Amino acid sequence: MEIYSVKQITEADYGCEETGRKEPMALVKIASESEEKCLEISERELDEKGISEGKKVCFNKDGDLLKYIRVVAAVIRDGDKIFATARGYGEYKGWWEFPGGKIEKGETPQEALVREIREELTAEIKVGDLIKTEEYDYPKFHLSMDCFWSELSSGQLVLKEAEAAKWLTKEDLNSVKWLPADLDLVGKIKAEWK
């Protein structure tokens, strides 16, 4: 998948009445390491998908432009259980996921994961092996999620953003409603969990 940076957004016209279009359009200049493109996209679509100058974008399999978000997730294991949290906000409020978050500029995925768990759960973790990188197209963005085995190294897991949390056994993994991007990961965890 090719990742592009949004270099420039300009208004394509000053009003849909003058052009016969149904809605105002924007010209979007994007560039990757190998190519540069100009696209015409409705201003409404840019706003709905959160696409703005400086953001990363990609195309889904249908050719739609999506905002590209790179995140990390910790599969925190303690003996025969793993830790999961229920989102406390947004469109998927109440759906279950593995804790983590966005990678900030200059961070490695492992550094981002340690920081995110400290911020979200007030605990320190030891990051282990990469389980997989999950690629998933949500309706408004593409998620690239590096998922790591992890273990608690100090502190208590205290929820600061999630609305609930559970320690799940292998048999309990299907007892919660997982976010779509986490579903495939759950299957891989079940297959690898000894």
Domain count, the chain: 2
Is 64 contained in some domain? Answer: no
Cα–Cα distance, 33 to 16 (Å, whole number) = 34
Is 141 contained in some domain? Answer: yes
pLDDT, tens digit (0-9, with 9 covering 90-100), for 125-165: 999 999 999 999 999 999 999 999 999 999 889 999 889 99
The DSSP symbol for 174 reads G
Q: How confident is the model at residue 1 (pLDDT cuts 50, 70, 90)?
A: confident
The residue behind tokens 């105002």 is 24
Of 59, 80, 106, the domain-final residue:
59
Q: Which domain holds residue 34?
A: 4-59
- The predicted model scores a pTM of 0.85
The enclosing H or E element of 110 equals helix 109-121
72 touches 103 (CB < 8 A): yes
For residue 30, count other CB atoms closer than 10 A to its CB.
24
* pLDDT of residue 21 exceeding 70: no
137 touches 65 (CB < 8 A): no
